[in-house]
Structure 1
């Protein structure tokens, strides 16, 4: 990976991608597009800015297909950046993180890094307690997507993943389409095709702090999850294969409650195993994109986030492993539980649990997944 001088043509593309603003002008969130202009693996990297008629702004880099900033109004009308991330591409490259990333090929964990396809066992990287997490240490969050700006509100990102990429089979072409709607929603559509039988499970890994102050923990946020059941994990964060009720446990968010209400009740084994919440909930929505899968509300800012998806599950992760060693945007140190991730997905380790919804993708088929992050305010 090395920086190279950008051609006049590439600079022109950069200016178009940032909505024809002078390249020295900062984004509404305070990002400098110049700090995202580089080349990785001989592919250009840049910052792309989406804006809607309501004044909302979303900045995305094609390195890892990452959402870098999301500016939405709070209850007083002040614009707040509600996601964690970095101010420059150098940090995204050099500091391991999943901030805002388009995860692939397989979001979440695969047990022992092993899958079996047509009787053949395939060994994947083991980068998390002996399991394969988020596609391995060189997953798509660390790769460059080809960026195709469509208009001021839509960006297409394409990733061509070769056969054997992190040992996953098949030449896969994946597309992530980000659309910023005029009702302040980030609409994310995923597609993928393959020339060989493989597994696919994509998601977005944004870390949300709806207060707009990344120094403030999210334990006071109200969370609702439209799920009567969840998938327990063992001490290595791997799903056990069980699907159990949330009723009368700290995992019950069917009635909104603060994230912090039960999070430290480590006498409940699942919270101890997860170091807090880091679990997959089995959604009641049955793939209906019109039903709310989850809702998060900051009492400080009044900002709300509703999640809609056609996926069967959602991973709720409460930033348990942020430990104050990483400095993000504006030099803020990210401490434990200053963000929550709401990752729409098929269940973890589905390739090894045939009774669960399948993640197999065959040649001639197209993988589809749809997620909407809808922002609003409650005054």
Structure 2
């Protein structure tokens, strides 16, 4: 009888243990790591949802440093290029996962006019301005405002004050960047900004995705972009002010296509702004892109309130980078879906405006949702 009782007790204990969700799979957010830099703290946070999807973010450049999601067989892998230590982000790298501002992308001649006043910006891209100057947001240490879990969402919020004339931009700009991970395998990035004098704002995230688990180039992924036109660029990559229909061109991803044949033909990657197809004129959250890796079965769906998206597959070889788990990256190892207003918008009144005035609030929401084929 005692044997039967003992067996029943052990069986009950095993059943209770097997039904309990593993600690690592509970919705959580925690500060994983912290180092000191010039008497300030660089923090690394780990967010986990109930499915085991994990992301990591740091207040250095308000960066997304890691995303781990399963393939069709449930095997987890890193799907953004990044480093295991926050110290590595202080060195040379192509803005991996960083928040980019105060003005993402290019401004011709590093100059714009707003309300009759001309502002001269720092020239950090030959005679032009790009990504807010040589000390843009991608090199700034944000403050960690708060981190929390609420219902089905874990969140971390970073804040930064961009001082008047930083990079040549007018106004003190107070920026908030919130990273949220939901139990629906969504990464939600919410941006807000306010200013104390008229200025221009264009923020984005500069993550390099690789759905293979960062093991192979991204050219074999299939891309479908919800866009019928691009902003035509001149020879230096700055919009002319015209829109170019993508139909029949190498920019046409209105149906799912691999990028490999086109990149092989062009001899280079992609670096172009798409005018997203929107159902209304208001800034609503709508689908912008679907990217699929048929080998792993991973799917990335991207949504945004922004009117444009910079599609970027860099041509440069990134083999100088040693990323997650000591992996060496290579050529065409990442793609970016940079949600944004158009490049050089302040100099093209026909483009969606990027001006921000005192009393107004800049808002942007971008969502990166991960699934597998068949979901």
Class of the TM-score when normalised by the shorter of the 2 chains: 0.7 to 0.9
Asked whether the equivalents of residues 121 and 129 of structure 2 are also in contact (C-alpha less than 8 Å), the reply is yes
Report the alpha carbon displacement of residue 248 of structure 1 after superposing the two structures with TM: 0.6
DSSP-derived class of the 2:87 partner: helix
Report the alpha carbon displacement of residue 362 of structure 1 after superposing the two structures with TM: 0.4
Q: Which runs of 4+ in 1 moved over 6 A?
A: none
Report the CA distance shift for 1:56/1:149 in structure 2 as closer, same or farther (over 3 A): farther
Q: Equivalent residue for 1:204?
A: 205
Question: Aligned pair 1:245/2:272, yes or no?
Answer: no
Q: Equivalent residue for 1:140?
A: 137
Report the CA distance shift for 1:41/1:199 in structure 2 as closer, same or farther (over 3 A): farther
Q: Equivalent residue for 2:55?
A: 58
Render the CA deviation track for 1:178-226: whole Å, top value 9, x for unaligned.
11011000011110000011010111111000110x2410000000001
Q: Which residue of 95, 100, 105 maps to 2:102?
A: 105
TM-score under structure 1 normalisation? 0.86
Q: Take 1:226 and 1:206, find their aligned partners in 2: how far apart are those partners?
A: 19
Report the alpha carbon displacement of residue 133 of structure 1 after superposing the two structures with TM: 1.2
Report the CA distance shift for 1:211/1:96 in structure 2 as closer, same or farther (over 3 A): closer
Q: How many residues align?
A: 341
Report the alpha carbon displacement of residue 117 of structure 1 after superposing the two structures with TM: 2.2
Q: Take 1:188 and 1:129, find their aligned partners in 2: how far apart are those partners?
A: 31
Report the CA distance shift for 1:288/1:121 in structure 2 as closer, same or farther (over 3 A): closer
Render the CA deviation track for 1:37-94: whole Å, top value 9, x for unaligned.
2233543111011111221111001100111100111100011110001222222112
Question: Aligned pair 1:168/2:173, yes or no?
Answer: no
Q: Equivalent residue for 1:284?
A: 277
Structure 2 unaligned blocks of 5 or more: 1-27
Q: Equivalent residue for 1:184?
A: 185
Q: Equivalent residue for 2:74?
A: 77
Asked whether the equivalents of residues 87 and 328 of structure 1 are also in contact (C-alpha less than 8 Å), the reply is yes
What root-mean-square deviation, in Å, do the aligned CA atoms of Structure 1 and Structure 2 show?
Answer: 1.7
Asked whether the equivalents of residues 179 and 187 of structure 2 are also in contact (C-alpha less than 8 Å), the reply is yes
Q: Which residue of 138, 147, 151 maps to 2:148?
A: 151
TM-score under structure 2 normalisation? 0.87
Q: Take 1:234 and 1:328, find their aligned partners in 2: how far apart are those partners?
A: 34
Asked whether the equivalents of residues 222 and 293 of structure 2 are also in contact (C-alpha less than 8 Å), the reply is yes
Structure 1 unaligned blocks of 5 or more: 1-17, 22-32, 267-271
Q: Equivalent residue for 1:315?
A: 310
Asked whether the equivalents of residues 38 and 46 of structure 1 are also in contact (C-alpha less than 8 Å), the reply is yes
Q: Take 1:313 and 1:20, find their aligned partners in 2: how far apart are those partners?
A: 33
Q: Equivalent residue for 2:224?
A: 224
Report the alpha carbon displacement of residue 241 of structure 1 after superposing the two structures with TM: 1.5
Report the alpha carbon displacement of residue 20 of structure 1 after superposing the two structures with TM: 5.6
Does 301-310 or 315-324 show the bigger shift?
A: 315-324
DSSP-derived class of the 1:326 partner: coil
Q: Equivalent residue for 1:12?
A: none
Render the CA deviation track for 1:85-111: whole Å, top value 9, x for unaligned.
122222211214210011111111111
Q: Take 2:318 and 2:91, find their aligned partners in 1: how far apart are those partners?
A: 17
Instruction: Tell which structure's C-alpha radius of gyration is larger.
Output: 2
Q: Take 1:175 and 1:108, find their aligned partners in 2: how far apart are those partners?
A: 19
Q: Which residue of 292, 298, 301 maps to 1:303?
A: 298
Report the CA distance shift for 1:299/1:363 in structure 2 as closer, same or farther (over 3 A): same
Report the alpha carbon displacement of residue 130 of structure 1 after superposing the two structures with TM: 2.5
Question: Aligned pair 1:362/2:363, yes or no?
Answer: no
Report the CA distance shift for 1:125/1:333 in structure 2 as closer, same or farther (over 3 A): farther
